[in-house]
Amino acid sequence: MAMVYSRLVFLVSICILVSQATDQPDFLYHFCLDDNGNYTSNSTYKANLNQLLSSLSSNTEIDYGFYNFPYGKSPDQVYSLGLCRGDVNPDICRSCLNNATNLLPLLCPNQKEAIGWYDYCVLRYTFSDIFGIMEDSPTFYMWNTNNVSANYDQFRQDLMTLLDSQIGQAAAGGSLRKFAAGNTTAPNLHTLYLLMQCTPDLSVQVCSDCLNGAMKLIPECCDGKQGGRVVRPSCNLRFEVFSFYNATVQSSSPSLSPLPPPVPSVSPPASNNTPAAKGKESNKSRTVIKVVPIISFVVLIIISFCIYSRVRKPREKPQSESVDEIRGVESLQLGFGTIKVATDDFSDANKLGRGGFGVVYKIQSSVYNSIGQDATIS
């Protein structure tokens, strides 16, 4: 009972943590990359990851929405990258990343590499240096369920024109932000809104390549839809026929400022430490989603409920056998006259001996058929 109760408390605690982390607007999706290795709960990698995520979520000095921290020494060094959407303020950014640092390790409890997206931010951690490296996979899509009702060819042309104009503006952003947002008039009295962003550690050309690659995927996910998004580790874009971003925030302005190097590790690596190669093949398969459920959270709730129900179920009492035993004794209770006949008037020939209640006599089953076998009476 105590063990079952302790497990129930543990599962409920996890459910509470997941509930708190997901009780934020629009957690989109996550990937736990099993192919890139695992760690154990008491490993150095796990300790470094915990310290790194704690440092990232508590950092109040960065106000431009891009975080890039390493921690530890090879071979257990951990690298992280956090990026907030370009139109959110620093407080919302930090809150989003704080939620991500709590949730992602729960969803990916032993994978060395994981990535998760909220609507306002993305968090990624891995075992190799990812600064300045463009990643186009894993990729996922989301789309508006409403279709373009008419003039789709014109709608698509207006969308492509808007995308082309904003890609150059986002890619030209400086080392702190590569972000663009804009709108245009579309058919059927619609205004078409667009937002796109790269991680600012990418060069102008690499950011442009990432966004152009994402744009080419729109027909695969969102053809004929009033809205959609393509999300990659290094860039993302979204379009809708309603305003979904802070229009007062200006897009990135061109800047030739150099890219900042990664923030020095709190625990500097050894001098002969060389960052590990990515070693990850480009995954051409892409996950297509319409609604993103928090499957892990639902499973934990179900498990907790089942265990709780089992603990609360009353145990069946074992059926007592004393009734049968009493009935067996009652079946041997005979009248005095019957006993006198059965013992041949208490004949010495039927005497067996003396017990605590007096002389013990033997009777035969042939004398009294209801007994069914030889018996003794005292």
- Tally the domains of the chain: 3
**Do 8 and 118 belong together in one domain?**
yes
Residue 288 located in a structural domain: no
- Please name the helix (run of DSSP H) or strand (run of DSSP E) that holds residue 328, with its range, or none: helix 322-330
Q: Are the beta carbons of 71 and 77 closer than 8 angstroms?
A: yes
Q: Which residue has the higher pLDDT, 234 or 272?
A: 234
Best CA proximity match to 275, nearest among 44, 45, 78, 36: 78
278 pLDDT above the threshold of 50: no
Instruction: pLDDT band for 277, please (50, 70, 90 cuts).
Output: very low
Best CA proximity match to 301, nearest among 4, 6, 16, 3: 16
123 pLDDT above the threshold of 90: yes
Q: Is 147 helix (H, G, I), strand (E, B) or coil?
A: strand
**Do 249 and 139 belong together in one domain?**
yes
Domain holding 105, by residue range, is 1-130+293-315
60 pLDDT above the threshold of 50: yes
**Do 146 and 69 belong together in one domain?**
no
- Please name the helix (run of DSSP H) or strand (run of DSSP E) that holds residue 178, with its range, or none: strand 178-186
- In this prediction, residue 345 carries a pLDDT of 76
- In this prediction, residue 352 carries a pLDDT of 72
Best CA proximity match to 203, nearest among 259, 247, 153, 269: 259
User: Is the pTM higher than 0.75?
Assistant: no
Tens digits of residue pLDDT in 331-340: 445 666 677 7
- In this prediction, residue 348 carries a pLDDT of 77
- In this prediction, residue 258 carries a pLDDT of 39
Mean of the per-residue pLDDT values of the chain:
77
Residue 341 located in a structural domain: yes
